A and B are shown apart, each in its own frame.
Chain A
Amino acid sequence: MPHILFANLPYLLQAAGVTLLLSVVCTVLAALIGIVAALAQSFGGWPTRGVALLYLYLMRGTPLIVMLFAAFYLLPYAGIDVDATTGGVMMVSLYFGAFMGEVFRGALASVPRGQWDAGRALGMHGTWLMRIVVVPQALRLAGPPFVNTCIMLVKSTSLVSVIGLWELTLAGREVVERTLAPFQVFGGIAAIYFVMCYGLALCGRMLERRVPHAQ
């Protein structure tokens, strides 16, 4: 019965490749932005912290689709001409940078005070203390919420289809327009997303078991 889906599978898998690439690039960028946001919020003076907070609340309180359209409509007015790919990647990264920022900030805050004090008592300070004592422990704590945020990000890349970036969801709409088989095609697409996201979840769980807990 699902012959239409199978006939279009190569096309959809090609688009799934784009979604995968998009997800990887956005995850890396979002993680970098998140690290900066977390550091700014944890260690910055009040102006830095204010800017970081404004960014976090703005992104976490508005829908991603609004932000995507904002990039799509506003940047051309400002004389900046970006294509859908650049705009989409930029906005998804910025949006999830805020969520990553919360993940990292939470992880930093969860490293017990005593660990910092112990490091200082041993004469460590600054980046040295962070690198040897705090960050390794924080990374362990950040693992599970980081994976959850990655899954959210992969799912959210489907939204860039509305500004015309060709990826899995947009390819699906094209195929549906051609074949008029929405159940098969969107069902198949959902299955492809499921494989990616569930795979990510399984990897996360494996990683969690691999990394020994410091106690």
Chain B
Amino acid sequence: MMLRAVPVLLGGLLVTLELAGLAIVASLAWGLVIVLGRLSRFLPLAWLCAGYVQLVRNTPVLVQMYFFYFGFAMVGLRLSGFVAGLLALVLQNGGYVAEIYRAGIATVGRQQREAGLALGMRPLEALRIVVFPQALRLVLPPLANQFVTIVKDTALVSTLSVADMMFWARRLIDRTAAAYEIFADLTLLYLLLTATIAVLMRAAEWRLRVAD
């Protein structure tokens, strides 16, 4: 009785999952690009990337979504709500992910990199072979938090008429007025999603542990 809304919401769950999955993978990649730019010795590039991070971290993702969705439609390049939402999620969270990477790399320390260089590695090699594997363990917990944030922020695309879980829940309420039930099911599904991420990331952390 209590879970009657779930089958309808499951259709939206697929869209939510798809959007969250794409946003997570793309944010991880985009964050890497940004952090490499930030650590570059070519200062204008480093400043540009630092400025980018501040810009996206200090503006609401909802406004960014509106900017892309309504903005590009006006100049004749109509983005679907899904694409506009994905774009905003990736640009925003890529900035956060870049900061997480940077903190991880900074914690591993310069000596490690220099040790790599002393062994004759090229700068990027030293990063890839020496620094990144160590930083990976450090960045997992904050990344887990970021992934949870991404999943939660996907609900905002319902305002761009994308048929995700939130969208179907509102549809269902308008039609059936069974608000309690629908919100209980919706909350449950989101909790299930975010809890799954937390558990998976904890497992990854455990796999990558080293005996200190």
Residue numbers of A with Cβ under 8 A of B are 57-58, 60-66, 69-70, 73-74, 77, 151, 155-156, 158-159, 161-162, 169, 172-173, 176, 180-183, 186-187, 189-190, 193-194, 197-198, 201
Please classify the interface of chain A as helix (H, G, I), strand (E, B), loop, or mixed, using the class held by over half of its residues.
Answer: helix
Across-interface contacts of B169 in A (CB, < 8 A):
66, 69
Q: Return chain B residues, CB-CB under 8 Å to A161.
A: 62
Report Cα–Cα, A148/B160, bound state, in Å: 28
Q: How large is the interface on B (under 10, 10 to 19, 20 to 34, 35 or more residues)?
A: 35 or more
In the complex, residue of chain B having the shortest beta-carbon distance to the beta carbon of A196? B58
Contacts of A172 in B (CB 8 A): 63, 66
Main secondary structure of the interface of B (DSSP, over half): helix
Hey, what's the 0/1 contact readout for B149-178 against A, CB within 8 Å counting as 1? 000111110110000001001100100000
Write out, one digit per residue, whether chain B residues 167-211 have a CB within 8 A of any chain A CB (1) or not (0): 001100100000110010011001100110000000000000000
Interface contact B60-A155, CB-CB below 8 Å: yes
Which residues of B have CB within 8 Å of A73?
Answer: 173, 179, 183
> Among the listed B54, B67, B170, which residue makes an inter-chain contact with A190, where contact means beta carbons less than 8 Å apart?
B67
B159 partner residues in chain A, CB cutoff 8 A:
65, 162
Contact check, A194 vs B155: say whether CB atoms are below 8 A apart: no
What separation, in Å, do the CA atoms of A100 and B70 have in the docked complex? 34
Residues of B within 8 A of A64 (CB): 152
Asked whether, in the complex, the Cβ of B66 is within 8 Å of the Cβ of A186, the reply is: yes
A74 touches B67 (CB 8 A): no
Contact A70 B183 (CB under 8 A): yes
**How many residue pairs at the A-B interface have CB separations less than 8 Å?**
112
A193 touches B179 (CB 8 A): no
Chain B: CB-nearest residue to A148: B57
A162-B159, A182-B66, A193-B63 given as contacts; is B58 within 8 A of A63 (CB)?
no
Indicate whether B59 reaches chain A with its CB closer than 8 angstroms.
yes
| Beta-carbon nearest neighbor of B198 in chain A | A61
Please give, as numbers and ranges, the residues of chain A lying within 8 Å of B61 by CB-CB distance: 155
In the complex, the answer to whether B59 meets A194 with C-beta atoms within 8 Å is yes
Query: Which residues on A sit within 8 Å (CB–CB) of B116?
Result: none
* Chain B residues, Cβ within 8 Å of A65: 155-156, 158-159, 166
Q: Knowing A77-B179, A156-B60 touch, does A186 contact B156 (C-beta < 8 A)?
A: no
A3 to chain B, nearest CB (A): 16
Closest 10 CB pairs of A and B: A182-B70, A197-B58, A63-B155, A158-B60, A63-B152, A186-B67, A155-B60, A61-B194, A190-B59, A182-B71
Q: Which of B54, B74, B186, B187 contacts A198 (CB 8 A)?
A: B54
